[in-house]
Amino acid sequence: MDITTIAGISAGLGLVLMAILQGGGGLVVFINVPSLMITVGGTIGATLINFPMSKVFGVMKVVKKAFFHKETPPEGIIATLVEFARIARREGILALEERISGTDDPFFRKGVQLAVDGTPPEVIREILTIDLEALQERHKGGQDIFNAMATYSPAFGMIGTLIGLIQMLRSLDDPSKIGQGMATALLTTFYGALMANLVFLPIAGKLRVRSEEEVLNKRLIMEGIVAIQSGDNPRVVEDKLKSFISPGIRDKIKVERR
C-alpha cells in the first residue's frame, strides 16, 4: 500500500475540514446536493463522452497503482541480472531457464526465455521495446483520463456558478431564494476546484511517477538480458545497468555488495 497517497488525500481533506469548522457555520453549510450533481455528474458525463466506456472502467485497474503499489527497487533488479550473467557465463545461458520459473514478472520471464531460445540480441531488444511502448501507452491512457477529469471538474464548477447566479438574479424579488442561489453558485466552484486539485491532478501525477519507475525497471531488464545474450561478462553488465540509475543508488549497490 502506498501510504503517501492516502496520507496526502487525508491530510488535504482534514485541513480543509478544519478550516471550514473553524470558520463558523458548521459543515452543513458546505453540503449542497444540486452543486454536487452539477459538478460530479457533469465531470462523469464529459469523461464518458470523451473516452470509450472500456477505458473509463479499465482505469480502475490503473488507479490501484496510486494506492496499492509493490515497489521494486532497481538495485534489486541489477543484482538479479548480474547474478544471471554469472550463471550464464559459468553454466551456459540454458541454465537460466530454471531460474525464471519463480519470477512473477512476465516481462522478465519473456526476455530470459527469448535469450534461452537463442534469439539474437537485436531481436530481443526489438520485441521487448514493443512491449515497453505498449505499457507506456496503457499508463498514459490512465493519466489522460484523470487529467481530463481535472479539466472538466472546475469547468462544471463554473457552469454551476452561472446556474446559481441566474437563479439568484431571477429571484431578486424574493430574498428567501437569494441565499440558495448563491450557495449553488459558489459551492459548485468549490467542489470543482477541490476535486481537481486534491484528487484528479495528484492521482494523475502519482500514476506518471509510477509509470516512470516501472519503465526504468523494464529498461534495466531489457538492457541486462541483451547484454547477457551478447556474452558480456558480469562486471560489464553491472556497469551498463548502473548508468541508468542515479549516483545515490549506485553507491547503495556498492554498500550492499561489500
The length of the chain, given as a count of residues: 258
Enter the pTM of the model: 0.81
Q: What's the Cα-to-Cα distance from 124 to each of 6, 112, 116, 121, 226, rounded to whole Å?
A: 39, 9, 11, 5, 7
What confidence category does residue 24 fall into, taking pLDDT thresholds of 50, 70 and 90? low
Q: What is the mean pLDDT of residues 19-38?
A: 82
Rounded to an integer, the average pLDDT of 232-244 is 89
pLDDT band, residue 44 (cuts 50/70/90): very high
Per the model's pLDDT, the better-predicted residue between 190 and 73 turns out to be 190
- Domain range list for the chain: 1-31, 34-64+73-257
pLDDT value, residue 32: 84
Give percent above pLDDT 90 in the chain. 40
pLDDT average, residue stretch 170-199: 82
Q: Give the distance, in angstroms, between the CA of residue 182 and the centroid of all CA atoms in the same chain.
A: 37
**CB-side neighbour CA atoms (13 Å) of 103:** 21
